[in-house]
Structure 1
């Protein structure tokens, strides 16, 4: 059941417009019911049925049916009055950047006011827009209604089925292209990535330098201490080195000196590598790595073809796994 939040309605700064919305909503519902009933009454069989079983109703309504356009124009005049009233308010309050934007953005209000055949039924869009506006202002909550839940469930089910079929079709097409030995990967490598090797090298070099500066430099002391402790522990576990302590007089000294030297060498090497990575001097190293991964056309080794076959098989298997996941119907799990 649709409930009205009276507190939000009272506290709203647009109370008058919200009241008008409710009035227009009531009039639209009455008008739509009137249009539907008159469309049904338009059938001769219905007129004869009423004349036979409810002659009083038929005799009262038949003159209204003959002058249906007149009565409908009464509703249209009210709707147009409200439309121009809101347009004037939008101009005064500078709701939109241009004064003439309002009728274009609310085109459904104008088209629904055309008293011609099926165009009258477009007034249902006006009903939807009012309900949506009231929902936005939290005056009503349409998500709690059974109608909304029903429509939302089957809409989501329909969209999931539709999107799944589209995704499966696209993935199957990609698989077929890959299996046919599509030159897509070659084009990406030769026409897109290779001409931008310098740019990729600069970008990766900068990112590596930033990561090294932010991650290593502030924790330099802790990393050095950790490395020395790990090297010291590894050396103590070494059987050959542990035998040095059995040398007379100088054995323990040699062992301790070696442990300290090795720990210091390892820490200094790691320190120097990270220092280089954190500086602009890492560019040549990064450039060499990029060149290995993106060789120039004609530099590809002979075994590259075998690697491409393995890569194609890997990609198709991955796509097949994705297709299997896409086939899962999540909306069925929500069925009662």
Structure 2
């Protein structure tokens, strides 16, 4: 049920306009209800039903139906009065950059006041605008109502279905263009990736150095101990090395010394690699890796098999994306 936040209503500096909003909301709902009822009453079968079943009501309402335009113009007069009051306030408060912007922005208020059957129902837009404005002021909370949750659920479901179909159509088109040898694939390679190899190298180099500095340097003591323990365990499980302990006198010493040396060498090698990655000296190493994955355009010429493999890879990636897009998340919220 829609609840009014009285605390925000009293704190608001727009109290007078909010009260007017509530009055206009009530009049609009009453007016729309009368329009709907009069449209139904216009059917001869309905009018005949009221005439036979409720003659008192028929005698009361029939003059209203005959002069419905007059009664509707009373509502229109009230709506137009409120419209011009708000327009004057907007001009005085300089809400818009130009004084004549207000009727263009609130065009539905004016069009809905035209007393013709086709345009009267545009007054529902005015109801929606007032409710939205009260919701923006935190006077009412539309999201707490069952009607909003019901409409919002099916709106989100509709938008997800629509967007999924559009995305699938676009991805299928991209796959078709890539398979048929579209120049887009070559343009991505030659015009986008190749000219930016230096930028990619610099960015990857910085990211690798940052990751090594933040991940390894503060924990290198624990990392070294872990590596030495793992190497020591691996060496003890090695059959050939375990035979050294059977050598007379020096066997156990040689085995222990070898285990310590190998563990120290492995730890030092890993330490040096990570130290290099954490410094600016990793740039050349990263550049070599980038050059392998992004070769010069001249080197790519003639390697149709590699291009075909890359095309198949992109197509498979797009297939995976399409599979994920087909997942209907809105169905998870169904009871």
TM over 0.5: yes
Contact 1:50/1:58 (<8 A) preserved: no
> Matched residues in 2 for 1:119 and 1:86: separation?
22
CA RMSD in angstroms comes to 3.6
Residues 13-52 of structure 1: matches in 2 within 5 Å? 13=12, 14-36=14-36
> Matched residues in 2 for 1:299 and 1:209: separation?
29
Structure 1 residue 151 displacement after superposition:
3.8
- For the residue of structure 1 that corresponds to 2:80, the secondary structure is helix
> Matched residues in 2 for 1:71 and 1:126: separation?
19
Contact 2:143/2:149 (<8 A) preserved: yes
> Using a 3 Å threshold, how does the CA distance of structure 1 residues 270 and 58 change in structure 2: closer, same or farther?
closer
Contact 2:64/2:71 (<8 A) preserved: no
> Matched residues in 2 for 1:47 and 1:61: separation?
15
Structure 1 residue 28 displacement after superposition:
1.2
Structure 1 residue 25 displacement after superposition:
0.8
Structure 1 residue 40 displacement after superposition:
6.5
Given the alignment of the two structures, is residue 306 of structure 1 paired with residue 297 of structure 2, yes or no?
no
> Using a 3 Å threshold, how does the CA distance of structure 1 residues 101 and 275 change in structure 2: closer, same or farther?
farther
Point out the more displaced range, 238-247 or 306-315. 306-315
Structure 1 residue 222 displacement after superposition:
1.1
Structure 1 residue 149 displacement after superposition:
4.9
Count of residue pairs brought into register by the alignment: 330
Contact 1:224/1:267 (<8 A) preserved: yes
Task: Give CA-to-partner distance per residue, 1:224-257, whole Å, 9 cap, x none.
Answer: 1111222222222223323333333333332222
Q: Match of 1:276? A: 276
> Matched residues in 1 for 2:3 and 2:260: separation?
79
Structure 1 residue 21 displacement after superposition:
1.6
> Matched residues in 2 for 1:301 and 1:226: separation?
47
The normalised TM-score by structure 1 is: 0.79
The normalised TM-score by structure 2 is: 0.79
Structure 1 residue 114 displacement after superposition:
4.4
5+ residue gaps, structure 1: none
5+ residue gaps, structure 2: none
Structure 1 residue 264 displacement after superposition:
1.7
Contact 1:8/1:138 (<8 A) preserved: no
